Amino acid sequence: MDIHALHQVVHNSRDSRRAQALPKLSPAERDTLIKKYHPDHREAAYRPVAFGPNAGDLTVRELASVLEGDSPVPTELTLTPDYTVDVLVVGGGGAGCAAALHAHAEGAKVLLATKLRLADSNSVMAQGGMQIAVAPNDSPVQHFLDTLKGGHMKNDHDLLKTMVEEGPSIAKWLLELGVLFDRDPDGNLHVKKGGGSTKERLLTCSDYTGLEIMRVLKDEVLNQKIQLLEFAAAIELLSDEQGTCTGAVLQDLDNKRFVVVAAKAVILATGGIGRLHIQGFPTSNHYGATGDGLALAYRMGAPLVQIDTFQYHPSGGVYPEQLVGQLVTEGIRSEGGHLVNSKGERFVNELDTRDVVSSSIIRECEEGRGIRTATGRVGVWLDTPLLEAEQGEGTLDKHFPAMVRQYERYGVDIRKDPVLIYPTLHYQNGGVKIDSNSETSVKNLFVAGETSGGLHGRNRLMGNSLLDLMVFGKRSGLTAASRVKTASQGKLTLTHLQRFRAESKKHGVTSQVISPMVLPAYTRTQNT
C-alpha cells in the first residue's frame, strides 16, 4: 500500500486513541523491555577494549577500534609551536564557546580551534529545549531526582548536583547575553514538560533552541575577538615527562599541515560519536561527530566511564529518505502528539524516558506492527496533525516552525499528514571521566560537554544536554583560567604516544584504524 494511503489509519483511529488508557509500566516491566529491545543490550555489538585505562571494559566495536587506533602523528614530529597560549579550547559548539568565553573573561589568552566552522556542532541542532529549574513549583532538588531516575540511578552525584544547582545562574547569563527564550503573556519565562520529568522545566526558543543559543554564543566569541582557528582538527595532545597536558597538534584540513599549539591547559569539547554509526544506525549528529576527544584523552591515559551506553532518540525521521535519522523534536510529543502503530494503536506513554520509548518503538517494528517504506525502512507514526486538531490551526507553525519547514522542503505537510519515525543514534551517554570542575585525571586536561561521561548515567533526559554544555563549559573555562595564572608552560613531548604505541604492540593489536577519524569515512578513498 502507498505510504500516503496509510495516513488514513492514523486519522481514523484518533477518536479511539483519545480515550485510550495506557498502562503504567512497573520498574520490572521497564527493565525487561529495555533489556530485550534497546540496542545497548545487543551482546554481539560489543567487545572488550584490548588495552589502556579501560582495558577489559565492554563497549561497541566501533568505539573500541577508535580507542585502540593509532595516531596520525609521527613520534619524530618537530614540536616547535606555531601558537603559544594560556588555554586551548578544542571544539566550537556550546561547551567550547562557553569555555572560551569564561576563560577569556578571566584574562586568559585563549585559542579556540574547531575542525569545521565555529558553531558547526550538535548544539546548534538542539530543538527540544534546556532543562533548568526556574518555575515557582520546581527546584534543583526535583531536577536532581528526575535526572537520577532517568539515568537509572547511575549518574555521578557530584556532577549532577553541580549541574542542577548552577542551572538558574546559567539561564541568567544567557538572558544577559541576549538569548530570546520563549515567554508567557505575563513576561515570565515559558516552561514546558519534557519526557521523564515531573515538572515543567524546559526553556525553549520555539524549536530553534540550540540555534538561538549558538547564535548568541558565536556572536559573543567573535565580539570578544577570541583567537579562532576554523577547519583545524585536533589529532594529538602533547604532554611533558610527568604526563601533564601541555598542548596539542592540530591539522589544517585545507592543506593537511600539522599545527603545534603550546598551551598551559587544554579543554576538549569535541562532542559526540554519532557519525561512527554504531550498529549501523542512522544518526541525528552533525558531520564532525566522530568521537575525537575520546581517542585523544584515552591516549593520554584518561579513563572513560559508562562507555557501554548510548542514547537512541525515539523520533528520528524514516521518510522521506532525505530526512532519515534527522530529529523530529521531542517537543511534538510534549505537546500531545501520539505515537501510533500500523493498527492505529498507541503503545507507549509518549513522555516516558527516551530509552523506554525507543525500546517500545523497536518492539512494535520487530513484532510486525511497524509501517514499511518503499525503500525497506520501517517505523511508526507520530501524529503531528493531532496538535492542529486539539489546539487549533497554526499550532505547528507557531511552536515548531523549523520542523514544518524541514518537511515542506520535501513535499510533506506535517499539519495534515503524520510523520514516520524510528530511533536514531543521538547521544553518547558515557565519555571521559571528569570531576566537578571538568578536569580529567590528566593534569591540565579538561573535558566539557558530550565528550565527558558520568553526568547522565545510562540514559539522558531531554533538555539536560544544553545545560550540561553551559555549566561544564563554564567550569572548565574558569578553572583552566585560574590554573594558568600560576602555571608555567610545560615541555612539549609525545612521550605518552610512545607509551601508547608500545602498549599496543605489547598486546598484539594490529588495527589499521587511524584515530581520531576526524571526518566520517563515507567513501573508501577518503583520506583523513
For 445-475, b where at least 16 C-beta lie within 10 A, e where not — what string?
A: bbbbbbbbbbbbbbbbbbbbbbbbbbbbbbb
Of 450, 520, 454, 109, nearest in space to 303 by CA: 454
The stretches of 116-273 forming alpha helices (DSSP H) are 140-150, 157-177, 209-223
User: CA-CA distance, 445 to 468, in Å (whole number)?
Assistant: 18
Judge whether 516 and 249 are in contact, CB under 8 Å: no
Judge whether 496 and 445 are in contact, CB under 8 Å: no
Residue bearing cell 555521578? 156
User: CA-CA distance, 447 to 435, in Å (whole number)?
Assistant: 9
What's the grid cell of residue 332? 511534538
Which amino acid makes up residue 377? R
Q: Is the dihedral of CA 467, 468, 471, 477 positive or negative?
A: negative
Residues with a known catalytic role = 313, 333
Of 284, 290, 316, nearest in space to 421 by CA: 316
What's the grid cell of residue 202? 524546559
Which amino acid makes up residue 276? L
User: CA-CA distance, 414 to 303, in Å (whole number)?
Assistant: 45
What's the grid cell of residue 144? 536532581
User: CA-CA distance, 442 to 490, in Å (whole number)?
Assistant: 14
User: CA-CA distance, 283 to 289, in Å (whole number)?
Assistant: 10
What's the grid cell of residue 373? 517504506
Judge whether 64 and 439 are in contact, CB under 8 Å: no
User: CA-CA distance, 330 to 5, in Å (whole number)?
Assistant: 25
Of 366, 514, 292, 261, nearest in space to 38 by CA: 366
Cα atoms in the Cβ-side hemisphere of radius 13 Å centred on 492: 20
Paired strand residues for 445: 266
